[in-house]
Amino acid sequence: MGEIRAFVCLDIAEKIKDNIERVASQIDAYEARAIPREQLHITLFFFERIDEKQVDEIKDSFYKIVASPFDVQIKGIGVFNPKKPNVIFATLKDDNGVKALYDKLLPSMKVIGFKNQEREFSPHITIARARETSKETVDKIALFVASNSDADLGSFKCEEIVLKQSTLTRQGPVYKTLFSKRFLP
């Protein structure tokens, strides 16, 4: 297998993807590119490069997780940096279940090779990326975010955690599920 790009994530329900697509379909008018439906997810950990041994260690860490399915509500659109809004995302209204899962996995992910990011973990679903951030684009994205800041995108029951491979291509990343583990009720 060699080294691969990979990430640990939570897949989202198809009905949530429908709602995100409906909102994100407006985004091209705001100088940003919507994320394709098949790439929508909630990232917990991203690994720039991991090897086969680390893939096995991630799988092992999944088996150590004691978690039950939990509800995730998606409500509102936001950006990390309003002055340079490269990433436009859907927010998780109450992310306690996602954050608790992240906290359970963090120690083993550090051992595997995950480097803590400088910013605090902030679960979200990236729905678009800005092509450029001129003053006009920043203003347009701010308008889009303001008009969708309270958009109810639905809720779903999160029932599994997933390890995916990300292969970069000219058309964008292609994701492949390497392993998933269902939570026990």
Q: Are 10 and 41 in contact (CB under 8 A)?
A: yes
Instruction: Please give the pLDDT value at position 29.
Output: 67
**Per-residue pLDDT for 32 more than 90?**
no
Alpha helices in the chain (DSSP H): 14-24, 52-63, 96-112, 135-147
Q: What is the CATH number of the domain that holds 8?
A: 3.90.1140.10
Q: What is the pLDDT of residue 10?
A: 97
Weakest mean pLDDT among 4-18, 86-100, 108-122: 108-122
Q: Which pLDDT tens digit goes with each residue over 33-46?
A: 899 999 999 999 99
Angle between the N-to-C axes of helices 96-112 and 52-63, in degrees from 0 to 180, rounded to the nearest 10: 140
Domain count, the chain: 1
Most confident of 18-27, 130-139, 150-159: 150-159
Average confidence score pLDDT of the chain = 91
pLDDT tens track for 46-61: 998 899 999 999 999 9
114/181: higher pLDDT: 181
Residues 6+ apart with CB under 8 A from 112: 47, 50, 54, 57, 58, 61
d(CA 47, CA 63): 19
Mean pLDDT of 148-167: 96
Each residue of 59-86: b (16+ CB within 10 Å) or e?
eebbeeeebeebebebbbbbbeeeeebb
- Write out the residue range of the structural domain in which residue 39 sits: 4-182
Instruction: State yes or no: pLDDT of 116 exceeds 90.
Output: no
C-beta separation of 39 from 156 below 8 A = no
